[in-house]
Amino acid sequence: MAAKKKISYRDAISEIEETIACIENDELDVDELSQKVKRVSELLVICKDKLQSTEKEVEKILNEMDE
């Protein structure tokens, strides 16, 4: 894969949902399946990181409000 470009959380979720739909509808052949599953796992890591980062930012803001 080429250099990884930043992808938004929304775009990552959309791509994951599209891939899941393809799998559920048997639209992927065996050759594509492992590639798509690998991509989904990468997207899940991106989403998890974004959620954790956002949680920390929100906690920081709330803590600042309490001071």
- Residue 19 CB coordination number (10 Å): 19
12/4 Cα distance (integer angstroms): 13
d(CA 46, CA 3): 15
Spatial contact of 22 and 39, defined as CB atoms under 8 Å apart:
no
Q: Give per-residue pLDDT as tens, 20-64.
A: 999 999 988 888 999 999 999 999 999 999 999 999 999 999 999
Model confidence pTM above 0.75:
yes
pLDDT at residue 31 in the model? 85
